[in-house]
Amino acid sequence: MSVKPIRLFGDPVLRTPAEPVRDFDAELRKLVKDLTDTMMDAPGAGLAAPQIGVGLRVFTYFVDDELGQSGERVAALLVELKVI
């Protein structure tokens, strides 16, 4: 489990536009794991990469009322999210 500190309001990374994801690789998989672990530890309903200090367009969230095979909450992932 790799729980990262959550950045708070006023942190410059939260005011900087996130960059697009260019490579879908092991580094991105680690980021997704870190996001999910941090979100579960918070506890929270969703978490974006900038909230843990990574300026990429990645967001993970829990799907309401969905449970996995062993009864755990199911997390979903959005990459390259652009809110217009």
Is pLDDT above 90 for 67?
A: no
Nearest to 49 by CA among 40, 41, 58, 38: 58
Q: Is-contact 47 10, C-beta < 8 A?
A: no
The CA distance from 30 to 25, in Å, is 9
| Whether pTM exceeds 0.85 | no
- Residue 63 binned pLDDT confidence (cut-offs 50, 70, 90): confident
Q: Which CATH number fits domain 12-79: 3.40.50.2000, 3.90.45.10, 3.40.50.300, 3.60.15.10?
A: 3.90.45.10
Q: Where are the domains of the chain?
A: 12-79
Q: Is-contact 6 46, C-beta < 8 A?
A: no
The CA distance from 77 to 56, in Å, is 13
Structure tokens at 65: 């009322």
Identify the pLDDT of residue 76. Answer: 77
CA-CA-CA-CA dihedral for 28, 60, 36, 45, to nearest 10: 170
